[in-house]
């Protein structure tokens, strides 16, 4: 599918991986609806989410690529918000061709100490969110008999890590959801794939994972990510939001690829 002139939704678009995806789609010529919660505080989390100013800054960068950008505040755990997101995108951009389910959060801790509220919140955003967004967008996507859904999972959706039970469970769910939805939407020529990022220097890492001392032999030092990436990836380097964006662009374009979970992890995960 040629992306020039197509219309894409990216959830969790204000910063980090979402920002990288939005910019790469814009560089490929797609108009982008940038969706984010716009509320940094979440009582279930130990770090701040993106602010509305982050969303506006990313939208300005998208527009500098000479495509249209729409900013939409929405909670992906609420179906009414997802329906409004789809309707506003169709109205402002002219339709929906691509949905990128990127919005995600993380909470860490041993299962014995992990709160029910934390578990429910991680599963709601990371697993329920892609379901609700897809459900809201499918009627728009199927109108064109062509389109793509890309779900952002993780290498933690292919291998479990101690201290990350909720996050891993949610990302395993995303991979399974991707496979099931690919089978459902194949007859409508809607392709559904996932991307599994590896080690990225985003807020999840700097504010949360860097402090999880037992993750891959981590020591908690400032350059922990570089050391882990060097020792745990074949390419011996970190991944970037732009790397994930390039993978999303590929999967949005690839007309005969569906149901896969593509690792972008420098060889850290090959299954």
Query: Which residues are paired to 36 by β-bridges?
Result: 73
Phi–psi pair at 45, nearest 5 degrees: -115, 160
Report d(CA 158, CA 257) in Å as an integer.
20
Q: Where in the chain is the domain with CATH 3.40.50.720?
A: 7-198+240-263
Confidence of residue 263 (pLDDT cuts 50, 70, 90): very high
pLDDT given at position 24: 98
Reference 57, options 5, 6, 115, 18; nearest CA is 18
Confidence of residue 58 (pLDDT cuts 50, 70, 90): very high
Q: Which fold has domain 7-198+240-263?
A: Rossmann fold (3.40.50)
Q: What is the pLDDT of residues 15-35, one digit of tens each?
A: 999 999 999 999 999 999 999
Q: What is the pLDDT of residues 236-256, one digit of tens each?
A: 999 999 999 999 999 999 999
Span 34-56, mean pLDDT? Answer: 93
Report d(CA 268, CA 271) in Å as an integer.
10
Place of tokens 């940038």: 34
Reference 49, options 63, 61, 35; nearest CA is 35
Q: Per the residue annotation, which of 47, 79, 161, 167 is the catalytic one?
A: 167
Kindly report the pTM of this predicted structure: 0.96
161 in catalytic set: no
Within 10 A of 188 (CB to CB), how many other CB atoms are there? 15
């Amino acid at each position: 599918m040629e992306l020039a002139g197509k219309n894409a939704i990216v959830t969790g678009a204000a910063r980090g991986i979402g920002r990288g995806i939005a910019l790469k789609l814009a560089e490929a010529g797609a108009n982008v609806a940038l969706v984010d919660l716009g509320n940094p505080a979440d009582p279930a989390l130990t770090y701040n989410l993106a602010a509305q100013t982050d969303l506006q800054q990313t939208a300005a960068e998208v527009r500098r690529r000479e495509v249209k950008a729409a900013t939409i505040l929405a909670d992906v755990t609420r179906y009414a918000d997802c329906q409004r997101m789809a309707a506003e995108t169709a109205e402002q951009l002219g339709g929906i061709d691509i949905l990128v389910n990127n919005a995600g959060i993380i909470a860490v801790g041993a299962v014995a100490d992990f709160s029910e509220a934390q578990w429910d919140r991680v599963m709601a955003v990371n697993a329920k969110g892609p379901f609700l967004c897809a459900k809201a967008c499918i009627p728009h996507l199927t109108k064109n008999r062509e389109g793509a859904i890309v779900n952002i999972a993780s290498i933690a959706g292919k291998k479990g890590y101690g201290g990350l039970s909720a996050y891993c469970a949610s990302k395993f769910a995303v991979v399974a959801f991707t496979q099931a939805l690919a089978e459902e939407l194949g007859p409508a020529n809607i392709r559904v794939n996932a991307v599994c990022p590896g080690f990225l220097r985003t807020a999840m890492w700097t504010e949360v994972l860097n402090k999880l001392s037992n993750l891959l032999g981590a020591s908690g030092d400032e350059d922990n990510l570089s050391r882990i990436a060097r020792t745990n990836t074949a390419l011996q380097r970190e991944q970037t939001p732009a790397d994930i964006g390039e993978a999303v662009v590929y999967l949005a374009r690839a007309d005969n690829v569906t149901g896969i979970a593509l690792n972008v992890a420098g060889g850290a995960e090959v299954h």
